[in-house]
Amino acid sequence: MAAQNTSLRGNCEEERRGNPKQTSETQTTPSLRGNGEAERRADPKQTAEAKRNPASKEPRTPTLRFKEFEGEYVKSKLGNELNLFNGYAFSSKDSREKGIRWVKIADVGINEMKLEAQSYLPEEFKEKHSKFLLQKGDYVVALTRPILGGKLKIAKINDDFDGSLLNQRVGKLVSKNDLEYMYCMLQQKSLISRIENRIAGTDPPNLSPNEIATLKTYIPSLPEQQKIASFLAAVDKKIQQLTKKKELLEDYKKGVMQQLFSQKIRFTPTLDDFEEKFEKGMMIDMAANYPDWEEKKFGDLYSFHSTNSLSRDKLNYESGTVYNIHYGDIHTKFKTAFYLRDEFVPFINNDIDLSRIKSESYCKNGDLVIADASEDYADIGKTIELIDLKGEKVLAGLHTFLARPKTSKTVIGFFSYLLKSWSMRKQIMIIAQGTKVLSLSTGRVANLKLKLPSNEEQQKIANYLSAIDTKIEAVNQQIEKTQEFKKGLLQQMFV
């Protein structure tokens, strides 16, 4: 990220330096100082700026600001500051396998253009509908169901969509202001909330210029807009770089898993392994590799134990003595290697009678909890491996299988990775049954065939893949931290 010599001032009485950690994250050197009444001097540039909307001059200033800018933002209506240029109603009959890319609602994500569903129109439409052509750097907004999870589906056109055609129900952002600034302004939580209230009551919710035109906003001078936009663009770039790094690590892990579980690459014993055997008085062959992998069935290694069928309304996150693993949490949030201390797990309500639960039905370290139901093949049979339960009471709940090792041939931490390998996923998808909802049976899962390495090689594989997961999680935390930093900026640098 290119370094910026930026200087910000905040709502405090004395000048103070920015947090060094935040400074290093965004490659900036912010200096924060008070924004009190004595500093609110009139800025001639902003006075001129106010002339564009003389009917509304209520002053406001942000809590965090670059020190070279002073004076007050100008109150205005959103319709005076931006417009949404609607796309053309192309017919589905015009769709082609190749040609000019066609930007539809599904292509517009939250701060990103999506490549999953690519559509094309005939090449000759480039001239025929030239007014609807998009260029790199344009900003587009989804106009139908535009808000998802409190965030606006707005994105910048990148290289992949340069020269594409704008479809109906997707709007291009048009403004006399700095477009990058307007893009950032439209990411404000408070503004999105007001937009959501305006479009509520329609099914589906639709965004139009008329519905947001009268929303009040406060606008700084163009130079200040550009400064803010440039600063936030640098933060966005950092997030993009970290996201790319995470994607590369995930791709690397996927490739390594394919190589490991197909045995195209193998670990070999190290000197430490031989020393360990020597200390135990075992025979040593310095030229030996790990043994060949054995073919087993899942049921040879694991036994199944009963689970409960408690629904979400029987669970809570406030208090209890017994935790409950719900299949929905396996699908959405639990890590493959499950540490109770790191996960947000619900309790079973205290008024639920658990006296009939057998002792062997309580989870133990090394158990696998398998989601036996899903609406798609990607998640059917998704599994977590219980690494450390902190000695707490934990039960496996609705739509899960609880599988427990019944031999010493399994190493904790290995099977959760093995069950994610393509050879195992393929078998699981084959045995899944159902139309709208897929399901598994313990009998079919018990017959899954697998290749099992020695305990020593299992440990090597588990350690290596776990190390990659640790790196991925570290990058993910950096992403989340930088996103929170940006969220704070959006709250403080806008009015």
In tens, the pLDDT along 55-113 reads 444 558 999 999 999 999 999 999 999 999 999 999 999 999 999 999 999 999 999 99
Is 156 a residue whose pLDDT tops 50?
Answer: yes
CB 373 within 8 A of CB 426: no
Is 159 a residue whose pLDDT tops 90?
Answer: yes
In order of their start, the domains of the chain are 80-217 (3.90.220.20), 294-452 (3.90.220.20)
Give the per-residue pLDDT at 269. Answer: 80
Which long-range CB contacts under 8 A does 428-436 form with residues at least 24 apart?
428/380, 428/381, 429/377, 429/380, 429/381, 432/374, 432/377, 432/380, 432/381, 436/375
Which pTM was predicted?
Answer: 0.77
Kindly report, residue by residue over 19-45, the tens digit of the pLDDT. Answer: 434 444 444 434 433 343 333 334 444
Give the per-residue pLDDT at 16. Answer: 36
3-class SS shares of the chain: helix, strand, coil, % to 5: 40, 20, 40
d(CA 153, CA 469): 30
Tokens for 229?
Answer: 């936009």
The pLDDT of 225-254, averaged and rounded, is: 96
Give the per-residue pLDDT at 273. Answer: 54
Give the per-residue pLDDT at 7. Answer: 52
Kindly report, residue by residue over 276-295, the tens digit of the pLDDT. Answer: 554 555 554 444 688 999 99
Q: Would you call 114 helix, strand, or coil by DSSP? A: coil
Strands 100-103, 165-166: pairing is parallel
Residue type, 26: T
The pLDDT of 463-473, averaged and rounded, is: 94
Which long-range CB contacts under 8 A does 355-360 form with residues at least 24 apart?
357/308, 357/395, 358/305, 358/306, 360/305, 360/404
Kindly report, residue by residue over 167-223, the tens digit of the pLDDT. Answer: 999 999 999 999 999 999 999 999 999 999 998 877 889 998 888 899 999 999 999
Query: How far is residue 95 from each of residues 117, 125, 287, 352, measured CA to CA in Å?
Result: 13, 11, 63, 57
The pLDDT of 135-159, averaged and rounded, is: 95
Give the per-residue pLDDT at 203. Answer: 83
Give the per-residue pLDDT at 212. Answer: 87
Report which of 69, 4, 2 is spatially closest to residue 30, judged by C-alpha positions: 4
Express as a percent the part of the chain with pLDDT over 90.
78
Q: How many residues does the chain have?
A: 495
* Lowest-confidence segment of 177-186, 278-287, 333-342, 438-447 by average pLDDT: 278-287
Residue with tokens 């069928």: 309
Q: Which residues of 404-417 are buried (b: 16+ CB within 10 A; e: fewer)?
A: bbeeeebbbbbbbb
Which long-range CB contacts under 8 A does 423-430 form with residues at least 24 apart?
423/261, 423/262, 423/450, 423/451, 424/448, 424/450, 425/381, 428/380, 428/381, 429/377, 429/380, 429/381
- Bridge partners of 83, per DSSP, are 174
